[in-house]
Amino acid sequence: MKKRKIFGILFVLVLVISSLFYFFRNVDKKQILINSLSAVDKITQLLPVEQSTKDEIQAIDKFVQAFTAKDGVERRYLVLLQNNMELRPTGGFLGQYAVVKMKNGEITSLFIEDANLLDQRISADVKPPYQFKSMMSIKRWKFRDSNWYPDFPTSVEKIKYFYRLSGGNSNFDGVISVNATVLNDVLEITGPVSVPGYPGTYTSENAILKLEEQVEKAYLFDENLNTQDRKLILKKMGAIIVDKLSSLSNVSKIADLVLEELRNKEVQFYFEDQELQALAEKVGWAGRVNQEWDGDYLMAVDANMGALKSDYYIDREMIYSVDLTLEKPTATLEINYTHNATVGDWRTSDYHSYLRVYTPKGTELVSREWVGYPVISEAYNRDYYGFKVDVIMNRTLPTKIVYTLPDRLKDNYKLLVQKQSGVGDVPLTVKVKTHDGEYSQKSVLKNDLKFELSGKK
């Protein structure tokens, strides 16, 4: 792979194209993956259901083959760079994108652009979801706000729609989203980097914050600066990081990184090829909201509507309690939001989010605390409740939502908790009360988790 063609897409080419192809083509990738996949710890009463390492190995192998196929066919991929310091339903604010063309395993064309520049080419007056108008005074829906749906394939269709409105060809072979915090994870492996022409050193602890200052702060306070050049540093940094990665000898460490980003939903795939898409969905790398699970279900989805990067300062904790002994089984969801910033600045203020809680079909809202008036609707074969959430700086907001569950869930209770892309690690406590006893487990929601009752107290 030619490095001079890699430098533009910092995150995607490191993880999806460069890493998978470069590091697995000359090694026993199956053995590396088997050694790298970490098993989920079992407990005696409430069991997380493990993912199949065989499926993950098969998916990685097929993706590598697709990206490196030497068949003379040119393929186009749309790459979405999402800043999850400003959380949106599919991972983060869509600030930049790239179009990559590949042929015979090599990049033949690479175009990178700020989303605002694409939006300037859209003249259509598209009405946005009402939350944008009521919470952000946005009257026209455009590309940068198009990843509104937590189901990634649904958002992809809307993203391609706005891409067409801008005059572009939306016939992509695949769409890949990558969250900004992937950069920090990559730098944990490569070590710090310095970029000629730019001050300071970028490390795994400060890279995202320093980049924000470089590409956002200066332009907020100096309107004379050319905004088209404000993200040039990403191109230069990408070349340096790829050089560092290509010189590493610890292949297993790279495999670990790739798998962690995929498992934690920091990278998501959408393919037009039905076989590839089915594989991505099977292993949970397609960002699909599960519509088939017939047990209890929970997915909490935040959308930062404050137009700032406040999610960097937000910690979340979830406590989900289910009482199956009542006449009507009842669920209580507590989400504790802690805003760690003490003062407001160009990056943060009080946190304003639109929260959607997805539940099984047939639930009924009982009560709510510290959230706004509910919007009750359904999507993806799920009921959902939408609330406005406001978290004051240097405070914790203890939200609570209580709703009844369908009677059918009383027998053979099982639960699927799906994680929102970009939200980071969320401490999760699950409590289930049955006539046989009470069961509890504390976990960290790094990816989707399945639970089932097993044994007695």
Cα separation, 347 vs 217, in Å, equals: 8
> Looking at the predicted structure, is the pLDDT value of residue 454 above 60?
yes
Report pLDDT for 227: 55
Between β-strands 375-379 and 396-404, what pairing exists: parallel, antiparallel or unpaired?
unpaired
Taking each helix axis from N to C terminus, what angle separates 182-190 and 251-263, rounded to the nearest 10 degrees?
170
Structural domains in the chain, sorted by start: 3-42+51-282 (no CATH), 296-453 (2.60.40)
> Looking at the predicted structure, is the pLDDT value of residue 403 above 50?
yes
- In whole angstroms, what separates CA 175 from the centre of its chain? 14
Cα separation, 22 vs 255, in Å, equals: 11
> Looking at the predicted structure, is the pLDDT value of residue 235 above 80?
no
> Looking at the predicted structure, is the pLDDT value of residue 379 above 90?
yes
Residue with tokens 């175009």: 111
- Alpha-helix residue ranges (DSSP H) falling in 44-150: 53-68, 115-119, 130-136
Report pLDDT for 225: 54
Which of the residue ranges 101-110, 209-218, 276-285 would you say has the lowest mean pLDDT? Answer: 209-218
pLDDT band of residue 3 (cuts 50, 70, 90) is: very low
Report pLDDT for 221: 52
Report pLDDT for 273: 96
pLDDT band of residue 20 (cuts 50, 70, 90) is: very low
Q: Is 32 or 449 the better-scoring residue by pLDDT?
A: 449
Helices (H) and strands (E) in the chain — how many of each? 13, 18
Q: Is 242 or 434 the better-scoring residue by pLDDT?
A: 434
237 contacts 420 by C-beta, under 8 angstroms: no
> Looking at the predicted structure, is the pLDDT value of residue 234 above 80?
no
Which of the residue ranges 101-115, 160-174, 357-371 would you say has the lowest mean pLDDT? Answer: 101-115
The count of C-alpha atoms lying within 13 angstroms of the C-alpha of 238, restricted to the half-sphere facing its C-beta, is 22
Helix, strand, coil tally for the chain in percent (to 5): 30, 30, 40
81 contacts 115 by C-beta, under 8 angstroms: no
| Residue 123 in tokens | 């003249």
pLDDT band of residue 48 (cuts 50, 70, 90) is: low
Report pLDDT for 218: 61
pLDDT band of residue 152 (cuts 50, 70, 90) is: very high
Report pLDDT for 8: 33
pLDDT band of residue 250 (cuts 50, 70, 90) is: low
Highest mean pLDDT among 211-215, 244-248, 368-372: 368-372
First to last CA, the chain: 56
pLDDT band of residue 163 (cuts 50, 70, 90) is: very high
> Looking at the predicted structure, is the pLDDT value of residue 167 above 60?
yes
| Residue 89: closest CA among 301, 246, 258, 250 | 301
Report pLDDT for 51: 53
Distances (CA, A) of 75 to 72, 164, 281, 285: 10, 18, 21, 20
Q: H or E segment at 211?
A: helix 207-212
